[in-house]
Structure 1
Amino acid sequence: MKRTAGKRSNVDTIKPAQIDAGVIGLGLMGHSIIACLLAAGHRVTAITRSMAKHLGTRRHIAALLQEMKREGLLRKNPAALMPRFTISEDFADLAGCGIVIESIIEDIDTKKQTYRLVEENVAGDTIIGSNTSSIPLTLLQQGAARPERFVGIHWDEPAHVTRFMEIIAGDKTERKHTDKVMALARAWGKEPSLVRRDVRGFITNRVSYAMFREACNLVDSGIATVEDVDRSLRNDVGWWITFAGPFRYMDLMGVEAYARVMKDLLPELSTSPDVPHLMRGVVEAGGRGISNGRGFYKYTPEQAKRWEKLFLKFNYEIRRLAMRYPEDVGNRTSRKKPARKAARSGA
């Protein structure tokens, strides 16, 4: 990440209502990102290759805003926000945007073609954000006219609900741009982390995929079933992870004990670079998960809908719980509830 000389600008007073935002890609994630940005106060322009394929987009985003209103994350009338949302097939309509967020297929060439179109149509100081979940931002900066304004903005689904966000600096990203996006992320209702060195997978995916690999290894080795692994992790890691990250948790439990266990356990964990046999078997058999009723588990159409509905309900409930225990809650001299504005702003 490049540091720029001179006085740092005051980004703490940033106001989303004064910054038009663009979103490229109208998949599941694109919809929820748009809802989050509208709720925070941005005027949003979405770019798609085919308006005809997205005739229900406005209705879907209006429904997400209504959902946020019902769950207490939005004070404004959702109907009053919808006129601030535009869908277009023309990249020229991004001309007035102060930030443009790309959320399309994870393919480097496709993303770079999109960036070229964006750069041809926006101002020189417009921030270009990528919602890539695994591609190093430094690779995406290559060939850009102004690589210094590229910032990784890693969202999680449902983007209009979760507090998660990772901000990634590529090798050529200037500090002033990551500072601005960090401030915007807080205005969007996020609790962002800054990835200071550009690595594939960033923070959460690197940790999560190490867990996924070991979970598959336990099943492939005949040590446990899929159900056993899910049950154990739900009732152990799932019990504390919203309250404390791994380092805070080890502090709470006693660091020395973890050092002793690591010495003996780490050599026995899977370090295979190959996709696990269990995972390959599901994918090669056509399993996609909930979307087609076949994954590590099988689902009837009714069960799939029920699991999706319950997962969304859980996301709102876990957000409310997380808001009661912000990351610095134990450092405060007196227990203060988060301000209502902070709890309700953005997504």
Structure 2
Amino acid sequence: MTEPINKIAIVGAGLVGSGWAIVFARAGLEVAVYDTLPTVREGALPFIKDALADLQGVGLIDDAAQILARIRIAGTIEEALVDADYVQESVFERVDVKSEVSQLIDAAMAPGTIVGSSSSGIPASAFTQDCVNRERFMVAHPVNPPHLVPVVEIVPTPWTDKAAAERVRVLMERVGQVPVMVRREIEGFILNRLQGALLNEAWALFEEGYASAADIDKTVAHGLGLRWSFMGPFETIDLNAPGGVADYAKRLGTLYHGIARSRKEPRPWSDELIARVEDERRQVLAETDLSARREWRDAYLTRIAAFRKQSGDKGDA
């Protein structure tokens, strides 16, 4: 019988990596955190401490100090990987950076260690093909911040061992995340392809003058997003017609097909377009206030997570 995963190494200690440390430590696992930049390493524990205090404040955890005690900062990648059963790589989203780090992990990992990358859209086959242990590498992509948004996309490469991917799925369920098994590699995976479709339409509507960025945001925040915060697109339409999904498709399928056909040649986001949206956003929120607004977002997500825990909502029908 395969031994359970108990010791975790985090490689990349930024916002995502620090969030992952919380995920694993609050589930009772020992976590070692490493980053090549000393300033990032030094900033990880203060960030984690503050986040744990917020979680305890709304009743999502009982003992922040006990969880923090399970997390240590490692001075080298080799130190972080000592006895690690699972490695969560969370470095910069660039193929050359991930390739270099993957080879360092490959050289230091123990037999049986599994590696998941927090890659947001780059398939692991693009940066693990030269690893000796490449059959134990895959993508395990979270949503930022992972300790507040539980979904994780598990995306194997063509050479990833199926048993290794299954062990990661079991691990993610065990630590309270919601794993999504992506059957084969595709650029952007599932989440960012769905998000990208909405984003591309939002940019196009703004560029063509149909609405302001603020009003487009309102449409999602106070409309679509309220349903999507607890159910997905298929369940949403299944409940939005008397006869379910087939009835919905019969009623509105032609409309959506027409909308899709109207975007046959999507344009890239131009510098001029980006500047216009940037200008509108900075009028609403100064660049100096971005960090504070992120803290507001995380506090809001924390309260939502607390409500869902109290209501017993696991997001499944």
Q: TM-score range by the shorter chain?
A: 0.7 to 0.9
Are positions 1:218 and 2:212 aligned together?
no
Could you report, residue by residue, the CA deviation over 1:58-98 in whole angstroms, capped at 9, with x for unpaired residues? 222222222222222223x2223333322223222112100
Could you report, residue by residue, the CA deviation over 1:215-254 in whole angstroms, capped at 9, with x for unpaired residues? 0101111111112211222222112112320011111113
Q: How does 1:239-250 map to 2 (within 5 A)?
A: 239-250=226-237
Please state how far the C-alpha of 1:99 moved relative to its aligned partner.
Answer: 0.5
Are positions 1:307 and 2:293 aligned together?
yes
Are positions 1:269 and 2:269 aligned together?
no
Amino acid at match of 1:328: D
2:129 aligns with one of 142, 148, 161: 142
Distance 2:130 2:43 in 1: 36
1:319 aligns with one of 285, 305, 312: 305
Question: Partner residue of 1:339?
Answer: none
Question: Partner residue of 2:161?
Answer: 174
2:70 aligns with one of 84, 98, 108: 84
Cα distance 1:264–1:59, how it changes in 2: closer, same or farther (>3 A)? Answer: closer
1:259 aligns with one of 243, 253, 259: 253
Are positions 1:29 and 2:16 aligned together?
yes
Question: Partner residue of 2:316?
Answer: 328
TM-score, L = length of structure 1: 0.81
Cα distance 1:327–1:31, how it changes in 2: closer, same or farther (>3 A)? Answer: closer
Distance 1:234 1:33 in 2: 26
Q: Matched residue pairs, number?
A: 307
SS at match of 1:120: helix
CA contact (8 A) 2:34 2:41 kept: no
2:46 aligns with one of 34, 59, 63: 59
CA contact (8 A) 2:13 2:40 kept: no
Could you report, residue by residue, the CA deviation over 1:271-304 in whole angstroms, capped at 9, with x for unpaired residues? 4152255653269xxx5x9xxxx84654247854
SS at match of 2:72: strand
Distance 1:134 1:273 in 2: 20
Amino acid at match of 2:256: M
Please state how far the C-alpha of 1:268 moved relative to its aligned partner.
Answer: 1.3
Are positions 1:120 and 2:107 aligned together?
yes
Distance 2:95 2:287 in 1: 34
CA contact (8 A) 1:62 1:78 kept: yes
Could you report, residue by residue, the CA deviation over 1:102-153 in whole angstroms, capped at 9, with x for unpaired residues? 1011111111111111111111210011000010122122111111101211
Question: Partner residue of 2:245?
Answer: none
Q: Which runs of 4+ in 1 moved over 6 A?
A: none
Are positions 1:230 and 2:224 aligned together?
no
SS at match of 1:200: coil
Distance 1:305 1:117 in 2: 32
CA contact (8 A) 1:153 1:165 kept: yes
Amino acid at match of 2:66: A
CA contact (8 A) 1:220 1:278 kept: no
CA contact (8 A) 1:219 1:278 kept: no
| Larger CA deviation: 118-127 vs 60-69 | 60-69
Consecutive unaligned residues in structure 1, runs of 5 or more: 1-8, 330-347
Distance 2:183 2:273 in 1: 31
SS at match of 2:25: helix
Cα distance 1:101–1:318, how it changes in 2: closer, same or farther (>3 A)? Answer: same
Distance 1:161 1:276 in 2: 33
Are positions 1:97 and 2:84 aligned together?
yes
CA contact (8 A) 2:207 2:273 kept: no
Cα distance 1:297–1:21, how it changes in 2: closer, same or farther (>3 A)? Answer: farther
Instruction: Output the aligned Cα RMSD.
Output: 2.5
CA contact (8 A) 1:216 1:276 kept: no
Are positions 1:159 and 2:158 aligned together?
no
Percent sequence identity over aligned pairs: 23
Consecutive unaligned residues in structure 2, runs of 5 or more: 242-247
Cα distance 1:210–1:53, how it changes in 2: closer, same or farther (>3 A)? Answer: closer
Q: How does 1:5-16 map to 2 (within 5 A)?
A: 14=4
